[in-house]
Amino acid sequence: MNSRKKIGKFGEDLACSYLIKRGYKILERNYYKELFPYKGEIDIVAKKDKIICFIEVKTLYLKNKSDFSPEDKVNFKKQKQLINLSQIWLIEHKIPLDSKWQIDIISVILCKNYKKAKIKHFKNAIFQ
């Protein structure tokens, strides 16, 4: 596993711990779908208060001060992909599309030597 993947997995593990501590139930991790024209991954599928949350985790290892935040990397194309993948997940799990669901972003900034992490949770960040 290359260092970028290790950092990403570490960030996802932290995000799961963060969610569990706040009462979320993790339903699935790394849901991957390759169904033309849709291809991609949802990092975390979780549930809290009868709302299904599809969560994109963006992790940044900070060696020096950065001018951007990890959540800035969720561009329009990625947002559209997350919406489509979320709907496919709901259909596959026989959950009506009119059920309560949302797409969240969790931003993880790792400081030197992974000793500290700053986590921000943007709820309902992408409108479907």
* Predicted pLDDT of residue 1: 63
Which residues does 126 contact at the CB level (< 8 Å), separation at least 6?
Answer: 74, 79, 82, 83, 103, 105
Residue range(s) defining the domain that contains residue 26: 3-126
Q: Is the pLDDT of residue 111 over 90?
A: no
pTM over the 0.75 mark:
yes
Q: What is the CATH number of the domain that holds 44?
A: 3.40.1350.10
Nearest alpha carbon to residue 60 among 123, 8, 13, 2: 8
Total of domains in the chain? 1
pLDDT band at 28 (very low <50, low <70, confident <90, very high): very high
* Predicted pLDDT of residue 67: 56
**Mean pLDDT over residues 3-16, rounded?**
91
* Predicted pLDDT of residue 70: 73
pLDDT band at 64 (very low <50, low <70, confident <90, very high): low
pLDDT band at 77 (very low <50, low <70, confident <90, very high): confident
